[in-house]
Structure 1
Amino acid sequence: MALHDAELIQRTLEGDESAFGFLVDKYKGSVHALAYRKLGDFHTAEEITQDTFLKAYQKLSTLKDPGRFPGWLYVIAARCCISWLRRNRVQVESFDNVKREMSAQSWTKYADARLREEVHNALESLPESERTVLTLYYMVGMTCEEIGRFIGTSCGAIRDRLYRARIRLKEELTMIEETLGGFQLPPTLTQEIMRQIPNGSLNPTPTTGKPLAPWIVATCLTVVVLLIGLGIKQATTFQLPYSFNALESATMVEIVDAPIIEMPPVKFLQVNRVGG
């Protein structure tokens, strides 16, 4: 799985945009579920999903280990959610008010929205680590191994979190499973993301100028000169450690309180030199 991602990433960096489309298809459900878990809104999560993949595409050349692409993508998605929350203050309207103003809405839509709110509230009662695992498991259908690779946690830890979450929400589990499993991303989401991606290769243009050896030598000489100058400056400062004119940043002798011990006067013995 990691090797397959690495191949797709390499092809993307070489200019094959269709390869990145495969990555989008593969991970869009996971990213969307994470965004929904953090923001609580299905359509806003779609926007976050698009932003996440656009940022991932732009920064793909900075990914040092392609095998860690799922976890790297998770971090980008989480940061996009944080940025969205900073820009927007979500105001949840009471369903009692909605019910009074629902003349133009059908009862089915109202009941569906009410069910989603109940599921959201049930998930909010869980610790965040368990809430994320439960959402990815039921909303996307990810395995424990896939979830662990996505959020950077061992498969055993994922199983433990899933088990604890199921125990906590034993009564609501069927409702949660049916509701999260009913979410369907629009089939055109991948095409919409790819449409916003600029054309061109992401691979940095290789340097074709002069060889690097002279530049390296010049840089090393510059560093040596700076170090010599710094050493002379420090040596000059330490020559006068008790001077009031020394730099404040220079190393000074720390003065500490110590008991004063009175020493008895020293008596010098007079020695008579023989033959003197």
Structure 2
Amino acid sequence: MIFREVEDRDLIERSRRGDVDAFNVLVSRWEKRVFTYLVRNTGNREDALDLTQDAFLKAYRGLGSLTDVERFPQWLFRIAHNEAISMHRKNRLPVAEGEDLEAADAEVSGPARSLGNRVETTLMVEQALASLPLEQREAVTLKVYQGFKFDEIAAIVDCPVSTAKSRVYAGLEALKQKLAPARDEGREAHAQRSS
């Protein structure tokens, strides 16, 4: 059987029986998303790499505790969330370091980096995102970049669904306010080119 045709739930069951290769396939399917989430959470690529590795190691060791294999993504992101929170507490990291956002952009954006305006816009968005309070940044990242539903976000960050919603909306509103000057500047430049 070709691994691409295998469902996550089958890989989880095989991993629970000790099939390391099956777990490696799960890692390859999910590592980019977890890494991207952690880069946005920590603002540091190296920390995100370490946390990604730690999260998958804990996931492998804890597969027996996963009760609903259909909720594997939420469970995995909950582990990643907990790892990031532990690092923030341990290191007392500033919540909005954003020191390595250009490297994160290179990792995440791929071909879009070659387009000057897109790169600049992406960096502005990433910097604005990094300046949000951790809880809002995390909620926006899970919703916008990872595509989780509000109830899934609530499960990952261990809060009520209404709190997850308010964090997402507050974060998006804050981003809108932070990016408004750049948006207005872009509109003016476009209007000048059009006339």
TM-score of Structure 1 vs Structure 2, range by shorter chain = 0.5 to 0.7
Instruction: Give the aligned CA root-mean-square deviation in angstroms.
Output: 4.0
Structure 2's unaligned 5+ residue stretches are 1-5, 100-118, 183-195
Measure the CA separation in 1 of the matches of 2:32 and 2:51.
12
Q: Partner of 1:124 in structure 2?
A: 131
C-alpha displacement of 1:12: 1.1
C-alpha displacement of 1:55: 1.1
Q: Which of 40, 55, 58 does residue 58 from structure 2 map onto?
A: 55
Task: Letter of the 1:49 partner, please give it.
Answer: T
2:15, 2:22 within 8 Å by CA — same for their partners in 1? Answer: yes
Task: Letter of the 2:132 partner, please give it.
Answer: S
Give TM-score, length-normalised by structure 2: 0.56
Measure the CA separation in 1 of the matches of 2:138 and 2:130.
9
Q: Partner of 1:4 in structure 2?
A: 7
In structure 2, do the counterparts of structure 1 residues 159 and 83 end up closer, same or farther at CA, with 3 Å as the change threshold?
closer
1:70, 1:150 within 8 Å by CA — same for their partners in 2? Answer: no
Tell me whether 1:79 sits opposite 2:86 in the alignment.
no
Q: Partner of 2:116 in structure 1?
A: none
Q: Structure 1, residues 225-244: CA drift from partner, whole Å, max 9, x if none?
A: xxxxxxxxxxxxxxxxxxxx
Q: Partner of 1:179 in structure 2?
A: none
Task: Letter of the 1:21 partner, please give it.
Answer: N
Measure the CA separation in 2 of the matches of 1:173 and 1:26.
33
**Alignment map for 1:100-119 (pairs within 5 Å):** 119=126
Q: Partner of 1:168 in structure 2?
A: 174
Tell me whether 1:88 sits opposite 2:94 in the alignment.
no
In structure 2, do the counterparts of structure 1 residues 37 and 122 end up closer, same or farther at CA, with 3 Å as the change threshold?
closer
In structure 2, do the counterparts of structure 1 residues 134 and 29 end up closer, same or farther at CA, with 3 Å as the change threshold?
farther
In structure 2, do the counterparts of structure 1 residues 150 and 80 end up closer, same or farther at CA, with 3 Å as the change threshold?
same
Matched residue SS, 1:11 = helix
Q: Partner of 1:136 in structure 2?
A: 142
Tell me whether 1:15 sits opposite 2:18 in the alignment.
yes
Tell me whether 1:45 sits opposite 2:34 in the alignment.
no
Number of residue pairs matched? 150
Measure the CA separation in 1 of the matches of 2:147 and 2:40.
17
Structure 1's unaligned 5+ residue stretches are 96-111, 176-276
Q: Which of 30, 38, 46 does residue 35 from structure 1 map onto?
A: 38
Q: Structure 1, residues 177-215: CA drift from partner, whole Å, max 9, x if none?
A: xxxxxxxxxxxxxxxxxxxxxxxxxxxxxxxxxxxxxxx
Measure the CA separation in 2 of the matches of 1:87 and 1:159.
28
Matched residue SS, 1:152 = helix
Give TM-score, length-normalised by structure 1: 0.42
Q: Structure 1, residues 40-82: CA drift from partner, whole Å, max 9, x if none?
A: 2122111100110011111212222222222222232222223
1:33, 1:136 within 8 Å by CA — same for their partners in 2? Answer: no
1:122, 1:172 within 8 Å by CA — same for their partners in 2? Answer: no
* Larger fraction in helix: 2
C-alpha displacement of 1:127: 6.8
C-alpha displacement of 1:157: 8.1
C-alpha displacement of 1:169: 1.6
Measure the CA separation in 1 of the matches of 2:137 and 2:56.
23
